[in-house]
Amino acid sequence: MTLAEDNGPERGGDDLFAAEYVLGVLSAEERQIASRRIDSEADFARLVDGWEVRLSLLASAYPEIEPPASAKSAIDRRLFSATDAAPAATPAGLWSSLAFWRGLAAAALAALALYIAVPYLNPPAAPQTRLAASLAAEGSDVKYLAVYDAARHDVGLSLVSGERAAGKDFELWMIEGKNAPVSMGVIPAGQTAHVTVAPAVQQKLAQGAVLAVSLEPAGGSPTGQPTGPVVAAGDLKGI
């Protein structure tokens, strides 16, 4: 559920539209619209700048990972080791052959494709999958941005708008198809929050379930199912 899918920016959600642009969940067409607005509208550009700062708080717990220094040498070996001895053994006329260079380029591309494909054919035990969702509902001013990090088993939440009523809590739910909602816990108060994902929910979230937020009594639902209104919901999408 993106802002543009929910009646577009004219719904009065420029703040959410800017947040979704920074989060990377807009379609290509929506990103082009946002990019043009950044260039032409100072107010919208400031919203984008503000969300870059706010969402950076969600990522602060995730250190940047540099590719290993051996990556380039490994690619070089795969692409060029078979041809290292070629100049001494190959007739001079071959080096001016267009067919030869086309064949060499095709072999190099095939080797590169194989190198890129290997991690997917043999995926690591803890994939670095990240999914995101915009959570909103008709008639509610509560809006959240959610980012699920499969490697850390964590959902990061940033409150875009809305407040919980006195004596009430927001509770996060996972909804898979027509199955009953599964509680993921009470959302801690604050502009940003993190909710740890239980093992039973992790695989279902990685497949792209729906996240929903309900308004519950303090401490969460007493029944294990939503008892109050669902104030925000949205599909998880890959980013």
- Express each pLDDT in 57-100 by its tens digit: 666 555 566 667 676 677 777 666 655 544 455 455 544 555 55
Q: Which amino acid is at 177?
A: G
- Region 35-44 average pLDDT: 87
pLDDT of residue 45 exceeding 50: yes
Average pLDDT, the chain: 76
- Region 25-45 average pLDDT: 86
Q: What is the pLDDT of residue 24?
A: 77
pTM: 0.56
Distance separating alpha carbons of residues 97 and 33, to the nearest angstrom? 48
Distance separating alpha carbons of residues 79 and 102, to the nearest angstrom? 14
Greater confidence (99 vs 215) lies with: 215
Residue 105 burial (C-beta neighbours within 10 Å; 0-12, 13-18, 19+): exposed
Distance separating alpha carbons of residues 222 and 226, to the nearest angstrom? 9
